[in-house]
Amino acid sequence: MALRTCWRFTGLAPRLLWNSTVLPGASVPGGRRSVSSLNNSHTATELLIRRFSSAPPSTDVSYDQLKELLAGRKSVVIDVREPWELREFGVIPGSINIPLGQLNTALQLSSEEFKEKYGGEMPQQTDNVVFSCLAGIRSKIALDTAALLGYKDIQHYPGGWQDWVNHEQQN
């Protein structure tokens, strides 16, 4: 009996999400929403994810863009890997190391405490901040954390250290 009751609710959450979202180019025949076409080459999944994300829509930085930002000192680059990873693999020159587990607290410190603990200038909420890690997974989490803390001009380097090394070896 209880199993039958629970079984009825299994499709409820996806239906609630789908029915609460009107997608561009969607038609509504008979009161049910079905996607006939999507504008601007966006997929339905991408639009749903963007709806629930607090990060800006365009957040990826390429190797060349990161190199330009570092050369012009136009951005604060934060590497969210653990210190042992930096010692073992290497560091993107000019980046500040704040392990991902410390990021939330670090971005709420005073400027003096931040500089003392991490050896760099505390990024302001209006500064351009780029997050990096080994392969782009933790930097994406860092991006979301910073967005929740009110940072607006934030990006991440999805290739991370692995991409950086590959490009640097080619030069």
Q: Which domain CATH number covers 109? A: 3.40.250.10
pLDDT band at 65 (very low <50, low <70, confident <90, very high): very high
44 and 82 in a single domain? The answer is: no
What is the distance between the alpha carbons of residues 14 and 69, in angstroms, rounded to a whole number? 41
**Per-residue pLDDT at 131 exceeds 60:** yes
17 and 92 in a single domain? The answer is: no
81 and 130 in a single domain? The answer is: yes
pLDDT band at 73 (very low <50, low <70, confident <90, very high): confident
Q: What is the pLDDT of residue 160?
A: 94
**Per-residue pLDDT at 47 exceeds 60:** no
82 and 165 in a single domain? The answer is: yes
109 and 144 in a single domain? The answer is: yes
Is 133 a residue of the active site? yes
34 and 116 in a single domain? The answer is: no
Angle between helices 160-170 and 63-71 (to 10 degrees): 80
In the set 100, 107, 133, 142, the catalytic residue is 133
Kindly state whether residue 37 falls inside one of the protein's structural domains.
Answer: yes
Mean pLDDT for the chain overall:
77
Name which residue leads in pLDDT, 78 or 38: 78
Distances (CA, A) of 54 to 118, 143, 146: 26, 9, 9
Name which residue leads in pLDDT, 134 or 9: 134
12 and 93 in a single domain? The answer is: no
Domain of residue 26 covers: 2-52
129 and 99 in a single domain? The answer is: yes
Kindly state whether residue 124 falls inside one of the protein's structural domains.
Answer: yes
Q: What is the pLDDT of residue 171?
A: 75
31 and 77 in a single domain? The answer is: no
Phi, psi of 78 (to 5 degrees): -115, 120
Q: What is the pLDDT of residue 74?
A: 82
Name which residue leads in pLDDT, 37 or 6: 6
Kindly state whether residue 116 falls inside one of the protein's structural domains.
Answer: yes
114 and 147 in a single domain? The answer is: yes
Number of domains in the chain: 2
